[in-house]
Structure 1
Amino acid sequence: MTILYRAFDDRDRLLYVGVSDVEFTRLAQHGASSQWAVYCVKLTFQRCLTREEAEEAERTAIADEDPVFNYQGRPTRRFLQWMRAYPDGDPDAVDVDAVIGRYRPPET
């Protein structure tokens, strides 16, 4: 059995969505190396019959629920907005172009 897990912060914002066949091992790895782990106060688990089912549910959750720290499966601009705004700001108020600048070829 495979699980889909969701991590939430103290304001009930979705931090991360993931899939694992061995949930507690994977969560221990996150705790040691993931930025979101220090903000996590709640985890939820959804059991899936197959890994494929869990991965599809993960893709849907990332697309529909806008988790703060998931990078894959979402537009890079949205991820950068969250990285700039979290934990206290509004990602929709972040001007990503002002933060990272736009590439402009040198004038000739």
Structure 2
Amino acid sequence: MQGLVRARMIHRAEGEEVALYRFFDEAEKLLYVGISKDPMHRWEEHRAKSWWSQIATYEVVWYASRAEARGAEKEAMRSESPTDNIHSAPGHSAHWKAALGSPEARAARKLRGSKRPAKKEQPDG
């Protein structure tokens, strides 16, 4: 049967595990690499991206920790060159390090009283 896809169900993380996922187009070109404890939820956030409609297949690999998944993600971006990860674009890292380390950015974080933006609370459904 043409078009039949069999895959294991995607689940939300149990414990400390984190998923690394890859999206591919019809030609099996890597579009995007990301990590998440809840891939299905994260994918909903990706739906507005221009490349979303190009996805033909995906791959999910679970890692025991965020550090392991982050390392695998960085290596995938470095060695596999996904077309739509802005983090893998030349100069991206230097740009953000400079922007986040600027006096203006440090002052804004100090005014907020934190180093990172607060996470939004999700209403109980």
CA RMSD of aligned residues (A): 1.4
What percent of counterpart residues are identical? Answer: 32
Please tell me the residue identity of whatever aligns with 1:65: E
Give 1:54's match in structure 2, choosing from 50, 69, 76.
69
Q: Which position in structure 2 is the counterpart of 1:89?
A: none
Instruction: Say if 2:32 and 2:85, in contact at 8 Å, map to a contact too.
Output: yes
> Per-residue displacement from partner, 1:9-44 (whole Å, max 9, x unpaired)?
00000000000011100011111x212211001010
1:12 and 2:8 matched = no
1:35 and 2:53 matched = no
Residues of 2 paired with 1:17 and 1:35: CA distance? 15
Residues of 2 paired with 1:74 and 1:68: CA distance? 9
The structure with the greater share of residues assigned to helix is 1
Residues of 1 paired with 2:84 and 2:91: CA distance? 11
Please tell me the residue identity of whatever aligns with 2:28: D
Specify every segment of 5 or more residues in structure 1 that has no aligned partner in the other structure, as ranges: 78-108
Residues of 1 paired with 2:73 and 2:87: CA distance? 11
Q: Which runs of 4+ in 1 moved over 4 A?
A: none
Instruction: Look at both structures and tell me which one has the larger radius of gyration over its CA atoms.
Output: 2
Please tell me the residue identity of whatever aligns with 1:58: E
Q: Which position in structure 2 is the counterpart of 1:81?
A: none
Residues of 1 paired with 2:75 and 2:91: CA distance? 17
Instruction: Say if 1:62 and 1:74, in contact at 8 Å, map to a contact too.
Output: no
Deviation at 1:76, TM superposition (A): 4.5
TM-score calculated relative to the size of structure 1: 0.66
Please tell me the residue identity of whatever aligns with 1:45: V
